[in-house]
A = this chain, B = another copy of it.
Amino acid sequence: MMENRVLFGDIIWSLDRNTLSEHSSSFLVIENGAVEGVYESLPERFKSFPLDDWSGKIIIPGMCDLHVHAPQYQFRGLWMDMELLDWLNGHTFPEESRYRDLSYADEAYGIFTHDLLHSPTTRVCAFATLHTEASLLLMNKLEEAGLSGYVGKVSMDRNCPDILRETTEQSVEGNLEFLNRSAGFENMRPIITPRFIPSCSDDLMRALGRISVERHLPVQSHLSENPSEIAWVQELVPESSSYADAYRMFGMMGEEKTIMAHCVYSYERELELLQNPNVFVAHCPDSNSNIYSGIARVTALMDAGVKVGLGSDVAAGEEISLFAAITNAVKVSKLAHRISHPEDRMLTFREAFFLATRGGGEFFGPVGAFDKGYEADAVVLDDSSFRTTLRDRLTLSERLEQYAYVKGRDNVCAKYVKGKRLVL
């Protein structure tokens, strides 16, 4: 059944990159799971709708995490001083291989789902592992929690340890089984997920590209994260003119909706392919700092018309809350402006908040805003425990900025997806 509901509180969302729409003590009317409007006084015709009173609390659109590795959540914030390959081989791959064991996957994905449910995120694009059963288990847990988005069974048939390798045939079969068995879900959908080109043979990439196009399935992967990876891809696909071009050759660079994580070095090399309206860049500032990939030229990409959203990239990023990605996206853009690209604008807080909501939300449809007709994802934030003498002098957008910078890791007191209230 479709949700009718009214939320009362201090409502704020992004109208566009540079504009926040602020409505203190107002009513957000949800009709049939979609935003009907925001009103200072509730129109007579909606007075029959159930009202959730969040007086004094901040109501924002649900955030959209475009890139997260669910099986890596258990070791978030650990082993941060390791080189990428040592980190992958020493910890990430062995940990991911444990998801062969469904009882372990059940416990671990239970913790991930619980914490994601209590974060500001309502929409997610998640990497699972190559294990079909565990990937379906993750999808089921997210669906049962009421969250929405995509889960990918990871494909990898080369350059990976024996504990975490499938043959090309196994990978294709696993993908087809994953697709068939995930058909019945309501809010969660499958997404084609080659880990990245170095871990997928040409044959597997061609097969995945075919499946994506034939079934109109979206794609998620990694792109241009660091220089040695880029050089490696050039060796592996010598006929490609760029890393992005290699994905294009295999039919996975915008034929269907596509998320490419990182794109730290894309502006100079493959901008045109990112300007495809089906392509979204998942900017992951924490990850790019932690494994010293560099700083993605986000404002340059945005100004060139590229669609950008944010990713937590757990566990290369340590925080599941996108408030961390928002504030760190601003910070690293300032460092890039100072150190490496003075010609690039610094990202503002408003732009970063836009990326986490409306910007990434576009991947999921009319999501990430409270414009009329948008799917009604809402998150209620409680900043009442935050003590400052300035409290009564702050605008709503200032309260949101302060919450994001200082308090953004908790105090989510309610969450709605398509108008339906989730059980926290």
Residues of A that sit less than 8 Å from B by CB:
73-81, 104, 107-108, 111, 114-115, 286, 289-295, 318-319, 327, 330-332, 334-340, 346, 348-350, 387-390, 394, 398, 401-406, 409
Contact = CB atoms under 8 A, between A and B. Distances in A.
A376 to B, nearest CB: 28
A389 B104 CA distance: 8
Given A79-B398, A295-B339, 11 more contacts: A74-B388, A77-B401, A78-B402, A78-B405, A81-B346, A108-B389, A111-B389, A290-B331, A292-B338, A293-B338, A319-B406
Given A77-B402, A289-B331, A389 B294 contact: no
A387 to B, nearest CB: 5
A349 B402 contact: no
Given A318-B406, A331-B290, A401-B78, A340 B337 contact: no
Contact of A339 (B291, B339, B402): B339
Contacts of A348: 81
A335 B77 contact: no
A266 to B, nearest CB: 16
B318 A405 contact: yes
A274 to B, nearest CB: 21
19 contacts: A77-B401, A77-B402, A78-B394, A80-B405, A81-B346, A81-B348, A81-B349, A107-B389, A111-B387, A111-B389, A289-B332, A290-B334, A291-B334, A294-B335, A294-B339, A295-B339, A318-B327, A339-B339, A339-B340
Contacts of A108: 389
A81 B290 contact: no
A20 to B, nearest CB: 12
A43 B331 CA distance: 50
B338 A389 contact: no
A404 to B, nearest CB: 7
Contacts of A73: 388
Contacts of A80: 327, 330, 349, 401, 405
A405 B77 contact: yes
B406 A330 contact: no
Contact of A338 (B294, B346, B388): B294
Contacts of A405: 76-78, 80, 318
B335 A289 contact: yes
A252 to B, nearest CB: 28
A104 B291 CA distance: 45
B115 A387 contact: yes
A289 B380 CA distance: 29
Enumerate the 3 nearest inter-chain pairs by beta-carbon distance, A residue then B residue, closest first: A77-B405, A292-B334, A77-B406
Contacts of A115: 387
A319 B403 CA distance: 12
Q: In the complex, which of the residues A108, A331, A387 has the most CB atoms of chain B within 10 Å of its own CB atom?
A: A331
Contacts of A394: 78
Contacts of A79: 398, 401
A290 B406 CA distance: 13
A291, A335, A337, A401, most chain B CB atoms within 10 A? A335
A350 B80 CA distance: 11
Nearest to A337: B292
A390 B74 contact: yes
A73 B318 CA distance: 26
Contacts of A77: 401-406
A380 B223 CA distance: 42
Contact of A289 (B293, B334, B390): B334
A163 to B, nearest CB: 17
Contacts of A291: 334
Nearest to A78: B402
Contacts of A336: 339
Which among A79, A339, A349, A350 has the highest number of chain B CB atoms within 10 Å? A339
Contacts of A338: 292-294
